[in-house]
Amino acid sequence: MKDELKCAFTGKNFWISTAIIVVCYLSFSVPSWVGSADWGTEFHPSALQQSLEALVFGGVILLLPFCAAGAYAISQVDDIQSNFLLFKIARSSYRKYALGKILSAAASGAAVIAITFVLHAVIWNWIALPYDPVAYPYHELPFKENGFFVKWHLIEHALPIYLYIFFAMGLFGAVWALIALAVSVWVPDKILAITIPACFYQLWAGGIYRFLFGWQLPTPSTMFLISADQRILTQSLIMYGLHALTAIILYRLGLKRWVQHA
């Protein structure tokens, strides 16, 4: 398991995924900052606004499922195609191998999504004024009245909002990495293992559950893209938990199939 975790965080795919997300964040937030250069210090966007606008409007949300999958989950394809899968299982056991892959994929997916948000936020808290709508009324953002953010935005320059989004995005990354891992063992092709979860993400966001079952559910990014409330948070946690459990079950079944027919 330690070797899997080491490979997950030192492999080139993890760092490529990290770089892609950071560049995408900055490609929106830097032009936005430059465009407000003549507004004066107190009218510049706050660090919180720079951090959130790049996430909400910068298009990075479209890349997150790809990068969560590409960070490490698709390494399962290499193990299958090289037959290294059987060697690894022989050295340890089926259960240890499966657990190592599941934890490594989830951890790398969570890290690449959550840490890049923090890194981008740290950059803008260093460059821009920290969020302070009391001292700078222009900083105030229009949060939902019944959401968590309206209660938190005056605390320590909105630190609870940053922390909430950090953990929510970590959960997002972990679950989509697990979905990619499950796809990898059934469809051992790297491109498909990255694109199939992203396609499923778009179907979920487009209301596939409402169309098929009549369920009015939050989209996969609702939890951190808007000022979430208790109902949205509860529904999102249930949905993410069910998707993670389903992905793990499908992965174990697919892995067992490969071992039995190898």
- Position 65, amino acid: P
The string of pLDDT tens digits covering residues 218-234 is: 888 888 776 667 788 88
Q: Is 110 left (phi over 0), alpha (psi -120 to 50) or beta?
A: alpha
- In this prediction, residue 135 has a pLDDT band, given cuts at 50, 70 and 90, of confident
Residue 253's SS3 state is helix
- In this prediction, residue 37 has a pLDDT band, given cuts at 50, 70 and 90, of low
pLDDT at site 198 = 93
Tell whether the model's pLDDT for residue 110 goes beyond 90. yes
The rounded distance, in Å, linking the Cα atoms of 121 and 49 is 10
The string of pLDDT tens digits covering residues 184-217 is: 999 999 999 999 999 999 999 888 888 888 878 8
* pTM listed for this prediction: 0.91
Percent of the chain residues topping a pLDDT of 90:
49
- In this prediction, residue 41 has a pLDDT band, given cuts at 50, 70 and 90, of low
The string of pLDDT tens digits covering residues 71-80 is: 999 999 988 8
Distances (CA, A) of 187 to 182, 229, 246, 261: 9, 37, 16, 15
The rounded distance, in Å, linking the Cα atoms of 154 and 162 is 12
